[in-house]
Amino acid sequence: MLAFIVNQFPRQVDAYFLRELRGLLESGLDFDIYSLLPAPRGWKVHEDARPLLERTVYPPATARLGGKTLAHLARHPAQTTGIAARIAAGHRSMPAALAKSMAVLPQSFAFAEEMRRRGVRHIHANWATYPATAAMVISELTGLPFSFSGHATDIFVHHAMLREKIEAARFVITCTKFNRGYLAEIAPAHAERIRTVYHGVDLPAFAPKGEPRDTKLVLSAGTLRTCKGFDDLIRATALLRDRGSDARLEIIGDGEERAALEELIRSLHLQDRVSLPGYRPQEELIPAYQTAGVVALPAHHEDHFGIPNILLEGLAAGAPVVCTELPSLHEVIEHERSGLFVPERDPEALADALGGLVADPERAERLAREGRRRVVENFDMTETVAELVRTFQAATQREAA
């Protein structure tokens, strides 16, 4: 039995992880999901998440959680205070991360007890921040080995205790070769335990439909945050309008920047060209990729790492992509061959790139075709999930021996 520790399940984001879980389930891997936060309410669940809900363990109600924590403290005072002290020391320069890690200690105590009861053999955390902290704590409480996956800001920005976690983990999974090199520099004596497994794409589900695309439509998607560069996309659309282009923009997603983006759209008089339709589950997002003329993400370097899944999904669906030149993107995109790179925070350059593809569908198709070929070659979910299955089966079987 394998235990996945996540911050919350299900979530509107992390569609790649949901695909992986579905693939692991279909492979026959025996696992449960331990959600550190209660089940979300008030939004539509991805269809792929429904079969996994019965495998999801949520923390007890607050009162019971507090009781279990106090009981553990009473039985093991030195161990409990020692764990809290190490976490506090390891997060002293990152107070926000410290608060989150301390906040999941009660769940860790409760889940340790539940994992013993269920016969868990290996613990794996998805994200190197407080899910991995919880996994490390549960490992200490139970003696079970743990591992974790590190992806983006969780290893490059919110990296408290990252070296300690790598050193304590049985293995670490990351999603790009660039990330692996970075993690290996942090813990060089343990570089051999750091493995690259790309986030795979369900190629049949995302396959182009062979129908005419809306060549004037630029699509983007993601949580509405400043770091995504959505404001630059909106400004680029205004520039394209002023140049006489018929390009339109649709940004699918929701988040804290919605009001600011709506105000920017109004101020630039783009209500007829830019739409913010809100959050859409994966099964509704796929047709948008298959229809769009271009998929774009001008993300900011300081807050984006790895290979944004929107770009892999867009290429898999047969759309050309325009994006900022993030370090890991060279593992799939070559400028002018399988996509276009643009400078960060540069609406003029972004408008040039988008306008060129909107005006030249043949060029757009050529870039899209090569981009999809690279995704098929290296990001097939069938292959990436098979590698995860081998990794997790080996971990659980070793503990059973």
Taking only the tens place, the pLDDT of each residue in 345-370 is 999 999 999 999 999 999 999 999 99
Indicate the pLDDT class of residue 43, thresholds 50, 70 and 90.
low
Residue 139, both tokens: 């490992």
Domains contained in the chain, number: 2
122 & 257 share domain:
no
57 & 79 share domain:
yes
Sign of CA dihedral 287, 290, 291, 294: positive
158 & 64 share domain:
yes
241 & 281 share domain:
yes
State mean pLDDT over 37-43.
80
Alpha helices in 58-126 (DSSP H): 62-75, 77-90, 95-103, 105-118
56 & 184 share domain:
yes
CB neighbours of residue 71 within 10 Å? 12
- pLDDT at res. 210: 85
**What domain range includes position 234?**
203-378
- pLDDT at res. 342: 97
229 & 126 share domain:
no
d(CA 172, CA 196): 9
- pLDDT at res. 399: 60
Look at residues 389, 387, 401 and name the one whose alpha carbon lies nearest to residue 2.
Answer: 389
101 & 133 share domain:
yes
- pLDDT at res. 92: 86
232 & 129 share domain:
no
- pLDDT at res. 167: 96
- pLDDT at res. 381: 94
192 & 300 share domain:
no
- pLDDT at res. 41: 79
296 & 374 share domain:
yes
Q: Which of 3-7, 62-66, 237-241 has the lowest mean pLDDT?
A: 62-66
pTM of the model: 0.90
Three-point CA angle 91, 95, 99, nearest 5°: 90
pLDDT of residue 401 exceeding 60, the answer is no
392 & 358 share domain:
no
What CATH number did the domain enclosing 253 receive?
3.40.50.2000
Is residue 33 classed as helix, strand or coil in its secondary structure?
A: strand
- pLDDT at res. 292: 97
Residue 271, both tokens: 């209500």
Taking only the tens place, the pLDDT of each residue in 117-143 is 999 999 999 999 999 999 999 999 999
84 & 102 share domain:
yes
- pLDDT at res. 357: 97
d(CA 118, CA 4): 13
Indicate the pLDDT class of residue 63, thresholds 50, 70 and 90.
low
State mean pLDDT over 74-94.
88
pLDDT of residue 169 exceeding 60, the answer is yes
CB neighbours of residue 92 within 10 Å? 10
Look at residues 265, 303, 311, 290 and name the one whose alpha carbon lies nearest to residue 213.
Answer: 290
- pLDDT at res. 73: 83
Residue 199 CB partners (closer than 8 Å, separation 6+): 16, 20, 175, 307, 309, 312, 379, 384
State mean pLDDT over 222-249.
96
**pLDDT > 90: percent of the chain:** 75
Taking only the tens place, the pLDDT of each residue in 273-329 is 999 999 998 889 999 999 999 999 999 988 777 899 999 999 999 999 999 999 899
Indicate the pLDDT class of residue 44, thresholds 50, 70 and 90.
low
